[in-house]
Amino acid sequence: MNFLSKWRLAIAWYGFLATFFIANSALADDAPKVRFTTSAGDFVVEVYPDKAPKTVENFLQYVRDKHYDGTIFHRVIENFMVQGGGFDAKFVERKSRPPVAHEGREALSRGGPKNVVGTLAMARTNDPNSATAQFFINVRDNAFLDPILIPPGDPVPKFEYQGRVYENTPRANLVNAPQLFGYTVFGRVVSGLDVITKIKTSPTGPGGPFPSDVPKTTLLINSATLVK
């Protein structure tokens, strides 16, 4: 290959990279954003409808309905996560819509983020399909909360989990195993992470119906507003 051909190839490659980064930047710019105004300060999250469409629409509808206005962060664990969106300052639980289908695996398989610092995920009970309005923000990398992607095949020829190897396992046994669902990550904090840091270091104790992890000083969400 002569010098001119190499030069043209280099120009084409750099052009491809520029197009790739511009396109991805545009995708990030197009992500819906929600501003939370709280008693600890403001922060902004962006959410990813291309990764978890049902989860994002569920969350944004609660924002549009002003569900989060006047709720609190009722569960704060400094080296784990901060959780809110379900109770008001008197610990009265807000009425919510029916649960949204779990999309953790789908989101991850579409290139969505994992449960790392600053990411936004749906809170739920032990039932994977029980998430309604409550959310949490990871304040450390919580890999144990990540959904487990199931390898192809039925039965699945080989599957490893927590150091144990399973061979020729019926696919349904793995797909439906509650411990493998993880938690659906559908966004991240893009501004005001220092506010989350302030929230996570709040002194906690018992409060309302909860025996522990409740901030001693009420951390109020004054409003959650769709800004884009």
Band the pLDDT of 9: cuts 50, 70, 90: very low
Q: Is the pLDDT of residue 139 over 70?
A: yes
Q: What is the average per-residue pLDDT within 166-181?
A: 95
pLDDT at residue 8, rounded to an integer: 52
Q: Is the pLDDT of residue 43 over 90?
A: yes
Percent of the chain residues topping a pLDDT of 90: 86
Domain ranges, ordered by start, for the chain:
31-141+182-226, 148-180
Q: Is the pLDDT of residue 12 over 70?
A: no
Average pLDDT, the chain: 90
C-alpha 31/C-alpha 62 separation (Å) is 17
Query: 151: which DSSP letter?
Result: P
Q: Is the pLDDT of residue 188 over 50?
A: yes
Q: What is the average per-residue pLDDT within 135-148?
A: 97
Give the CATH H-level superfamily of domain 31-141+182-226: Cyclophilin-like (2.40.100.10)
174 Cα distance to chain centroid? 23
Which ranges of the chain would DSSP assign to H, the alpha helix?
A: 3-30, 53-64, 104-109, 171-175, 193-200
Could you tell me the pTM of the whole model?
0.86
